[in-house]
Structure 1
Amino acid sequence: MSADYTSNPLSPMDDYPIHQVAEPIRRVATSDRNFYDRYYFNCYPSTDLNLFLIIGLGQYPNLGVTDAFAVLRRGDDHIVVRGSAALGHDRSDTTVGPFRVEVLEGLQRLRVVLAPGEYDLSFDLTFDATIPATLEPRHFRRQLERVTFDTSRFVQTGTWTGKLVIDDQSRSVTPDTWRGNRDRSWGVRPVGEAEPSGRRAVDGIQNFFWIYAVMQFDHYSISVILQEDERGRRIVEEAVRIWPEPDTEPEWLGRPEHQLVFAPGTRDVTSASLTFHRPTGEIIAVTCELLLPNYIGIGTGYGLEADWRHGMWQGEHVVQGLRKRASEIEPGLRMFCPVDNLTRFHVMDNGETAVGTGLFEVAAIGPHAPYGFDNFTDTASQRGAPTKGMDR
């Protein structure tokens, strides 16, 4: 059984001088049920952009739960392994059943393991960062005076080493060709069992329009983050170039703008471009070639399944597997699903083009006036293109 939360609140982490509030480490500064602390990783072979693995592990101290997932998109395969467990007294214990995250060297090297079992996927992978960990802008949003988002996050790109096993077939993962990015985020965001909507049922659920791109090039990386409300007003934004040298400040690229093209009758994004606008008038343009969508909302806990959400109590220890064809995921579900696209990026800057790969995460859930979505069920016009331009 898990440790009794009413007993001794101390853990081994309390021996380190890292306290931020007048509480033991396992007690966070807020009693908000939605506090979370999460790892995210993605991994792909740059020589074969038909495979995209995403891994996450989170703790939810005020819900007493920890969980993890891995979702692999390979061709038309959508393979998920997920686990949930009671959160014990030691926050440094980052295991959930067969899942494990080990910090080998803080902000540099981490090991991520899904031990072999009865499921179609396992791995033992080590991430080695190629850029310094870079803190993103604080993400903050309210609804009816309640804080719904208040999070911090940092991002890194890197290489991978180890072994990946799919359907009992093992492949070596080597740092010369395997790339990816990771992030660490913590704070308040909706997690756990669904809460009663109350007045929100009258005032309306918040939309979620989101773009998060992490681009990896030979000599630098680019990170882009933006969220907009239903009118298109910015909640958070950032566009920076991150150099590998640890003492070099990230380069601000300018205000990010976006142009998304949707498949007619859906909200599936089929192509995208970004532009960064400096006050001097200089524009950096990025063409985003979306190669392979990984539907991270299907089976992993991001909110679509009523019986499996991040932070939801499943019992002392539960591990499950899920497999389906990506092409058979219902369009209605995809409308409410953030999508992590494995992407090739073409950046035009000062007359020169650089080509890189990485993540283009996008969600257009709910109303968003600039693209002509008035409610949660609107889809793109038959033209498949936005009715209004996004460069403002």
Structure 2
Amino acid sequence: MLNRFGDYPIRQTLESFARPATSDPCFYDRMWFNGYADDAGQYFGLGMAVCPHRGILDCHFSVTWAGGLLHCFCASRRAPAERIELSVGPFRLEIVEPLRQARVILDDNESGVACDFMFSACMSAIAATTLVDRTERGDALFMLMLNRHGRHALDWQALDEVAVRI
């Protein structure tokens, strides 16, 4: 199956990017962003993961406050054929400029929290060392992490109004 990357000379296997190079049903690819308020009193984390062999795309957005407040939104859907389609229900992640700028949108939903902000890199992305954990039955973990450091414009005051105590 071809996808939008079919015109680019970037393949590393004989397959298109629509098909993972492994048949491992537990294979997944994910991304993670997090950030802190200037006073470190609030923290947010968001992530998306696609499990192509299981046909699932998951996302989450969570916010914590000093003193034990938490809000969390989680959603799943069937994985789209196009891997650059990064939306699950009211949640969207738009890659504005690869490795430099991303827009995070969580539209109004039944969880009560919504946001729309930009994450902008303040330095080049860093590829961490590949982590491989091998057991007698095969690879238990094979991971490559990409670290990005940047700035965000999350409206903490708007989120304060919907926080719930843990």
Q: TM-score w.r.t. structure 2 length?
A: 0.89
Alignment match of 2:82 (pick from 84, 90, 98): 90
Give the 3-state SS of the residue equivalent to 2:50 in structure 1. strand
Residue 15 in structure 1 maps to residue 3 in structure 2: no
- Identity among equivalent pairs (%): 28
Partner of 1:139: 131
Inter-partner Cα distance in structure 2 for 1:324 and 1:43: 20
Inter-partner Cα distance in structure 1 for 2:108 and 2:12: 38
Give the 3-state SS of the residue equivalent to 2:6 in structure 1. helix
Partner of 1:79: 71
* Structure 2 unaligned blocks of 5 or more: none
Residue 33 in structure 1 maps to residue 25 in structure 2: yes
Partners of 1:39 and 1:57 within 8 A in 2: yes
**Residue-pair matches, total:** 163
Partner of 2:122: 130
Deviation at 1:168, TM superposition (A): 4.8
Partners of 1:130 and 1:159 within 8 A in 2: yes
Deviation at 1:119, TM superposition (A): 1.4
Deviations 1:107-165 (A, max 9, x none): 11111111121213211111111121111011100223321111111112111125453
> Taking structure 1 as reference, are residues 324 and 65 closer, same or farther at Cα in structure 2, changes over 3 Å only?
farther
Deviations 1:282-315 (A, max 9, x none): xxxxxxxxxxxxxxxxxxxxxxxxxxxxxxxxxx
Alignment match of 1:166 (pick from 138, 159, 165): 159
Over aligned residues, Cα RMSD in angstroms?
1.7
Deviation at 1:30, TM superposition (A): 0.3
Residue 151 in structure 1 maps to residue 147 in structure 2: no
* Structure 1 unaligned blocks of 5 or more: 1-8, 170-322, 326-392
Partners of 1:134 and 1:156 within 8 A in 2: yes
Mapping for residues 246-285 of structure 1, pairs under 5 Å: none
Partners of 1:101 and 1:111 within 8 A in 2: yes
Partner of 1:59: 50
The higher radius of gyration belongs to 1
Mapping for residues 1-392 of structure 1, pairs under 5 Å: 9-47=1-39, 49-74=40-65, 75-164=67-156, 165-166=158-159, 168=161, 325=166
Q: TM-score w.r.t. structure 1 length?
A: 0.40
Q: Which amino acid aligns with 1:12?
A: R
Deviation at 1:36, TM superposition (A): 1.3
Inter-partner Cα distance in structure 2 for 1:54 and 1:148: 26
Which structure is richer in relative contact order (CA contacts within 8 A, separation 6 or more)?
A: 1
Partners of 1:120 and 1:167 within 8 A in 2: no
Q: Which amino acid aligns with 2:88?
A: V
Give the 3-state SS of the residue equivalent to 2:108 in structure 1. coil
Partners of 1:26 and 1:90 within 8 A in 2: yes
Deviations 1:205-259 (A, max 9, x none): xxxxxxxxxxxxxxxxxxxxxxxxxxxxxxxxxxxxxxxxxxxxxxxxxxxxxxx
Q: Which amino acid aligns with 1:59?
A: V
Inter-partner Cα distance in structure 2 for 1:146 and 1:324: 43
Q: Which amino acid aligns with 1:28?
A: P
Inter-partner Cα distance in structure 2 for 1:15 and 1:97: 29
Partner of 1:197: none
